[in-house]
């Protein structure tokens, strides 16, 4: 499965398609638990906590862990050199441990301190390998085809939204504890297949990193630190990379709030049962899948940043519609339209960041920085929207989410202006 210069274009693309499938499988393994976590952990917390803001804060704590852990682990994998590669050793250890902790969550719900300890332990482990799995894609895939490859990965992620919704609808109300074992089993199966088939030591990115290592003094390049990568971004006169991370934070906040608080919103505003409210995302997951690949192809034709702005605008408008017409049907329609729009941003944002990376040696660190922006938004977003709900009511939740998305649109518009001035021909 080598992606080397000796391959013909046809065989290289065949390799890229296979690798895209396996990277999608890795992401599927992660998101199969994360989406169910977002759907069904809030009701467990609400058995002990009345405040929506505190529930939102607890749901955002996993993202707080990600802010610190993900760039460090991404950077650690960047600097790892083994015969198995620099990513896979971390995945084969982290994923099974995360699956075990996930199964324990509902069994710890009788006590709030125990429940918090288990969900934080799960979040700690699961966050440690998240950027590592995602870094496999730029390791293997050429820059000009990363959007369509990332679309396939995001489709796999969206499939887990459907899986979580189906489990919520058909299993949670009758078997609330056993339901957690299903996503965990999917994770174990996925990592078993991934470990069997992928050796990232054969990737173009890994080979390029080895060549850069060899070009250093005494045949060894200096270790790249996270701090140095961040300082390079902050000090860059062209603020594109920094603003891009800010936009990822803002839209991540909007998206996380729409996911983490939707189940209680369905219960409080739409008068649905816990299981039915948890299933509101099912049609939206289908809409996201349908929109993902076209969003990637459109981005390659009209520009990734243009598609990002358009997609966020659609998402914000959909939230406004859902806030104006508060019925289960209208909410499902709003989230379907919003998910399709969100695909335009979520497929392309990380690709733009990867393509702005100055070296193959920092792809994992950049993946970590993407997830820092996304995780920071995921931590703050539910708390901000939850606080707004406490000050007003659950009826205004979707309007609050639309405001966050609008701020992200403003920031990406500035990135578009800066990139319009580029003269170096970088393919974004």
CATH topology of domain 9-419: Growth Hormone; Chain: A; (1.20.1250)
Mean pLDDT (the chain) is 84
More confident residue, 370 or 216: 370
Alpha-carbon span 2 to 191, nearest angstrom? 20
Alpha-carbon span 374 to 250, nearest angstrom? 8
Q: ∠ CA(308), CA(63), CA(116), 5° rounding?
A: 150
User: Structure pTM?
Assistant: 0.73
Which residues have C-beta within 8 Å of that of residue 3, sequence separation ≥ 6?
Answer: 12, 15, 16, 19, 140, 202, 203, 204
pLDDT digits (tens, 9 = 90+) for 254-273: 998 998 888 888 888 888 88
- With bands split at pLDDT 50, 70 and 90, how would you rate the model's confidence at 217? low
- pLDDT above 70 as % of the chain: 93
pLDDT digits (tens, 9 = 90+) for 280-307: 877 887 888 899 889 988 988 888 899 9
pLDDT digits (tens, 9 = 90+) for 144-179: 788 888 888 888 877 776 777 788 778 877 788 888
Domain residue limits, the chain: 9-419
pLDDT reading at 2 higher than 50: no
Alpha-carbon span 127 to 16, nearest angstrom? 26
Question: Which helix H or strand E contains 311, and what residues bound it?
Answer: helix 304-324
């Amino acid at each position: 499965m080598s992606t080397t210069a000796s391959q013909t274009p046809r065989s290289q693309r065949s390799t890229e398609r296979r690798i895209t499938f396996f990277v999608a499988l890795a992401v599927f393994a992660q998101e199969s638990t994360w989406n169910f976590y977002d759907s069904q952990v809030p009701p467990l917390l609400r058995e002990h906590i009345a405040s929506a803001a505190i529930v939102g804060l607890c749901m955002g704590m996993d993202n707080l862990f990600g802010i610190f852990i993900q760039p460090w682990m991404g950077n650690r994998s960047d600097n790892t050199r083994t015969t198995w590669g620099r990513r896979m050793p971390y995945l084969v250890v982290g994923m099974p441990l995360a699956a075990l902790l996930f199964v324990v969550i509902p069994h710890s719900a009788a006590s709030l301190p125990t429940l918090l300890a288990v969900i934080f332990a799960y979040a700690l482990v699961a966050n440690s390998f998240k950027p590592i799995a995602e870094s496999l894609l730029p390791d293997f895939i050429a820059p000009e085809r990363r959007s369509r490859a990332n679309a396939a990965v995001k489709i796999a992620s969206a499939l887990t939204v459907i899986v979580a919704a189906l489990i919520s609808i058909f299993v949670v109300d009758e078997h609330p504890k056993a339901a957690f074992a299903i996503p965990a089993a999917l994770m174990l199966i996925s990592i078993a297949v991934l470990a069997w088939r992928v050796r990232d030591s054969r990737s173009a990115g890994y080979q390029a990193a080895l060549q850069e290592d060899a070009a250093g003094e005494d045949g060894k390049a200096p270790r790249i630190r996270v701090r140095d990568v961040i300082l390079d971004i902050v000090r860059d006169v062209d603020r594109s990379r920094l603003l891009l991370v800010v936009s990822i934070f803002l839209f991540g906040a909007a998206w996380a709030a729409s996911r983490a608080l939707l189940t209680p919103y369905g219960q409080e505003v739409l008068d649905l049962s816990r299981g039915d409210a948890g299933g509101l995302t099912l049609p939206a997951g289908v809409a996201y899948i349908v929109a993902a690949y076209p969003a990637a192809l459109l981005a390659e034709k009209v520009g990734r940043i243009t598609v990002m702005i358009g997609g966020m605008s659609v998402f914000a408008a959909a939230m406004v519609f859902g806030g104006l017409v508060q019925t289960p049907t209208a909410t499902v329609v709003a989230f379907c339209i919003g998910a399709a729009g969100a695909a335009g941003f979520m497929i392309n944002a990380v690709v733009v960041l990867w393509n702005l990376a100055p070296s193959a040696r920092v792809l994992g660190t950049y993946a970590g920085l993407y997830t820092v922006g996304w995780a920071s938004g995921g931590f703050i977003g539910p708390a901000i929207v939850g606080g707004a709900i406490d000050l007003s009511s659950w009826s205004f939740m979707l309007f609050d989410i639309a405001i966050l998305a609008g701020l992200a649109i403003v920031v990406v518009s500035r990135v578009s202006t800066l990139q319009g001035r580029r003269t170096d021909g970088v393919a974004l």
